[in-house]
Amino acid sequence: MSTYDRNTEGLALVHQFADEVKGRTFLLTGPSPGGIGAETVISLAAESPALLILVGRSPEKVQTVIDSIKNVNPSVKTKFVQADLSSIKSVRKAAQTILDDPEIAKIDVVINNAAVMATPFELTEDKIELQLHANHLGHFILTNKIAPKVVAAGPGARIVNLSSSGHRYAGVRFEDPNFTEPGSYSEFTSYGQSKSANILYAVALNKRLAARGVRAYAVHPGSILTNLQHYVKQMDGARLAALMDEAAQKVAGKTLAEYRAADPHKTLQQGCSTTLRAALDPDLVEEEGVFLQDTKLTTDPKAVRDWATDPELAEKLWKLSEDLVGEKFDI
């Protein structure tokens, strides 16, 4: 495949990079049925990975994805690890389960896919704003704790964070990440903060791991109709229309109608392709950038905001994240 674009499909990339799939171990969070994560691991199964580790909340829901994997390739081994990414205790337990498992000697690719979007204001049991916790901090703890097994995979290992064009809506609110200021919370400002954090986290990981051959990327998969829109669908119609128009202006400088005309919804196969290129393409390291959309790396400031790629802000986020979760990480 000589070119990549918004129509590139995930399964085509899995076949193209079959040597980067066969015999390797992949970990993915958020493998919900009908979502991008499920489509990603089901596609990977076609070229015989050694192990697919699926991290999610519901064993019953993930079992349907495991069944789909087995339908594609009965020889692929799977492991389910239960975790609620919005609970520090739950994520620490999941990470320890992975570290203690002798069958998981190494992890070649970590795909931090799980997310919530545009939730009503909520603090988790750890007194952290929900979207920042579930979308960034849960992955921050999990990935940092299992980093020894990623490093053990040797040069070529990857960490892929699912971000969004929504990061263009807002950067990280370093002075008030939990929206304690009265009236400061809005669903998309919170989502934008968490998605900017996903990119900054990849920048910070590269500073720490690139010299050991591990590279981190953040990806915008595109707009795909999945359960991610659960909370959006529950909003009052008039308020939703106003919020979506405002979001389209901030993210793309267009009305929602103009945005949709220029960037229509993708299929699940188109949606998982950007993740899979970030995870598999060995030549990506020769290109500049940390952020991919439409299956291509880009440094275009219209596509990826400076507040999401600035190395100093990445270090500031690392420290803020350690403070919020109450744990230091030296990886």
Show pLDDT as tens, one digit a residue, over the chain (331 residues).
Answer: 458 999 999 999 999 999 999 999 999 999 999 999 999 999 999 999 999 999 999 999 999 999 999 999 999 999 999 999 999 999 999 999 999 999 999 999 999 999 999 899 999 999 999 999 999 999 999 999 999 999 999 899 999 999 999 999 999 999 999 999 999 999 999 999 999 999 999 999 999 999 999 999 999 998 887 665 566 666 666 666 777 777 777 777 777 777 777 777 899 999 999 999 999 999 999 999 999 999 999 999 999 999 999 999 999 999 999 999 999 999 9
Closest-CA residue to 128 (of 321, 281, 319, 272): 321
Q: For 258, phi and psi rounded to 5 degrees?
A: -65, -40
Contact 178, 282 (CB under 8 A): no
CATH of the domain at 111: 3.40.50.720
User: Position of tokens 């990623």?
Assistant: 150
What is the span of the domain harbouring residue 194?
10-226+265-325
Answer yes or no: is 280 within a domain: yes
Answer yes or no: is 3 within a domain: no
Q: What pLDDT does 272 receive?
A: 97
Total residue count of the chain as it appears in this document: 331
Is pTM beyond 0.85? Reply is: yes
Q: 299 is written with which tokens?
A: 């440094």
What's the burial of 302, exposed, middle or buried (CB within 10 Å: 0-12/13-18/19+)?
exposed
Answer yes or no: is 197 within a domain: yes
Q: What pLDDT does 232 receive?
A: 63
CA distance 61 to 37: 13
Answer yes or no: is 249 within a domain: no
Helix (H) or strand (E) holding 13: helix 10-16
Answer yes or no: is 259 within a domain: no
The distance in angstroms from the start CA to the end CA of the chain is 36
Q: 250 is written with which tokens?
A: 């901030």
Mapping DSSP to helix (H, G, I), strand (E, B) and coil, where does residue 260 land?
helix
Answer yes or no: is 29 within a domain: yes
Q: 195 is written with which tokens?
A: 């998605």
Answer yes or no: is 56 within a domain: yes
Contacts of 242 (CB under 8 A, 6+ apart): none
CA distance 144 to 33: 27
Q: What pLDDT does 1 receive?
A: 43
Domain count, the chain: 1
Q: What pLDDT does 255 receive?
A: 72
Q: 307 is written with which tokens?
A: 């507040």
Answer yes or no: is 253 within a domain: no
Q: Apex CA 200: angle with CA 173 and CA 38, to 5°?
A: 105
- Give the active site residues: 185
